[in-house]
């Protein structure tokens, strides 16, 4: 039986149809700007999300990094969530490689960064201080879709203080699905957005950074500098186009399965379901039982994310069907026993 891998939505493997789309893709040298499939992806996504231009890159980490480097200069600063990917899970790249200082801000429980905290963090214009240049948000954040009203308030704040406004939208399409709006509406108001295709959209590789033509021109330079200039990348871009055309609407199925998983686990003894948002479920397990639980689940061919967060995380995706959810619930059930 296949392994039920709920560690992340990055573990999906390209479908047969996606592989066929990749095989047939026309390609060229993308460093010369001559890969027709890469160009088609960049144009399609920019048009769909309402931006002038897009840039296809190997990873979301690189997309965020070169986005920040395109907005900011050495000695600038960006405001970012203390538990945001762009701050905490990207090896400190903006500081290490961009000479851009992060100013981490504590998250509210809904994932937002309080406007008052942001206001207080903007530095005066004075040689003592880094120049506060940008606000970076993340949506979804640990599965949570940020309140839509908050996105407008954050944008108004950024405008008022003259800051660029970047979105780490690795799971933008999950946020849009949760809101019940188009991805374009979920991306509205940002100066730049980074979207991942290697998560719930099910492509093997790739992210796209979106912004103005001028911003993307600067980002293209940084992509090359950071080693991300690639050649016949059209085969990978073809997978992303296939995902845009076939894997967006089905994200609602992932969200429904996460609801079902949370429901199934909620009746078990000795553990608690902390939260379920979009395609993620977080459960709390006594620390002294974590190792045994992990071993038990592995023996049942169920994988979950243990150890990175204070809670156990499970993520639904393209390769998890209804039967997989039931098998995962049963594996937890045979460990904990039900009420
Ligand atoms: C996955 C992810 C990224 C990018 O990760 P890569 O592994 O570099 O593609 C960025 N932000 C968030 C919120 C993510 O979940």
Are 181 and 288 in a shared domain? Answer: no
What's the 62 CA to ligand 1 centre distance in angstroms? 9
Are 94 and 177 in a shared domain? Answer: yes
Nearest CA to ligand 1 atom 3: 60
CA 57 to chain centre: 14
User: Which ligand 1 atom is nearest residue 196's CA?
Assistant: 9
pLDDT band of residue 337 (cuts 50, 70, 90) is confident
pLDDT for res 119? 98
What would the pLDDT profile of 123-169 be if each residue is shown by its tens digit?
A: 999 999 999 999 999 999 999 999 999 999 999 999 999 999 999 99
What would the pLDDT profile of 67-117 be if each residue is shown by its tens digit?
A: 999 999 999 999 999 999 999 999 999 999 999 999 999 999 999 999 999
To test ligand 1's pocket by mutation, which of 57, 83, 85, 172 has the most ligand atoms within 8 angstroms of CB? 85
In which domain, by residue range, is 269 found?
A: 250-336
Task: Judge residue 78's burial from the number of C-beta atoms within 10 Å of its C-beta, 0-12 exposed, 13-18 middle, 19 or more buried.
Answer: buried
What's the 275 CA to ligand 1 centre distance in angstroms? 21
Structure tokens at 243: 């995902």
User: Which ligand 1 atom is nearest residue 141's CA?
Assistant: 13
What's the 89 CA to ligand 1 centre distance in angstroms? 8
Q: Are 191 and 166 in contact (CB under 8 A)?
A: yes
Q: Indicate if the pLDDT at residue 28 is higher than 80.
A: yes
pLDDT band of residue 310 (cuts 50, 70, 90) is confident
Asked whether residue 280 is domain-assigned, the answer is yes
To test ligand 1's pocket by mutation, which of 58, 143, 168 has the most ligand atoms within 8 angstroms of CB? 168
pTM above 0.95, yes or no: yes
Are 219 and 283 in a shared domain? Answer: no
- Left, alpha or beta for 301 (phi > 0: left; psi -120 to 50: alpha)? left
Hey, is 9 helix, strand or coil?
helix
Are 143 and 233 in a shared domain? Answer: yes
85 membership: H or E segment, kind and range: helix 85-88
What's the 334 CA to ligand 1 centre distance in angstroms? 33
Q: Indicate if the pLDDT at residue 245 is higher than 70.
A: yes
Are 33 and 158 in a shared domain? Answer: yes
Q: Are 98 and 136 in contact (CB under 8 A)?
A: no
- Averaged confidence pLDDT in the chain: 97
Domain with residue 286: its CATH number is 3.90.1150.10
């Amino acid at each position: 039986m296949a392994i039920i891998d709920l560690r992340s939505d990055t573990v999906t493997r390209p479908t047969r149809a996606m592989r066929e789309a990749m095989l047939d893709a026309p390609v060229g040298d993308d460093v010369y700007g001559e890969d027709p499939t890469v160009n088609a992806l960049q144009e399609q996504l920019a048009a769909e999300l309402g931006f002038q231009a897009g840039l296809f890159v190997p990873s979301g980490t690189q997309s965020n990094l070169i986005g920040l480097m395109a907005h900011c200069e050495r000695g600038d600063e960006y405001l970012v969530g203390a538990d945001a990917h762009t701050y905490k899970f990207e090896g400190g790249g903006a500081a290490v490689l961009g000479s851009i200082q992060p100013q981490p801000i504590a998250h509210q429980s809904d994932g937002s960064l309080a406007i008052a905290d942001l206001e207080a963090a903007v530095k005066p214009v004075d040689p003592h201080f880094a120049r506060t240049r940008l606000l970076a948000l993340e949506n979804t954040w640990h599965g949570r879709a940020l309140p839509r009203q908050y996105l407008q308030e954050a944008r108004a704040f950024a405008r008022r203080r003259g800051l660029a406004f970047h979105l780490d939208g690795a799971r933008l399409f999950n946020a849009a699905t949760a809101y019940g709006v188009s991805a374009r509406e979920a991306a509205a108001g940002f100066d730049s957005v980074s979207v991942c295709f290697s998560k719930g959209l099910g492509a093997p590789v790739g992210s796209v950074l979106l912004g103005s033509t001028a911003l993307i021109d600067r980002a293209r330079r940084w992509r090359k500098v950071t080693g991300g200039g690639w050649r016949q990348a059209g085969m990978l871009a073809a997978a992303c186009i296939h995902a845009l055309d076939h894997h967006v609407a089905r994200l609602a199925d992932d969200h429904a399965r996460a609801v079902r998983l949370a429901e199934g686990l909620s009746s078990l003894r000795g553990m608690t379901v902390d939260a379920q948002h979009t395609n993620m479920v977080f459960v709390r397990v006594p620390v002294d039982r974590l190792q045994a639980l992990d071993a038990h689940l592995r023996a049942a061919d169920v994988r979950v994310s243990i150890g990175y967060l204070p809670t156990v995380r499970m993520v639904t995706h393209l390769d998890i069907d209804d039967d997989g959810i039931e098998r995962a619930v049963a594996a937890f059930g045979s460990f904990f026993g039900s009420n």
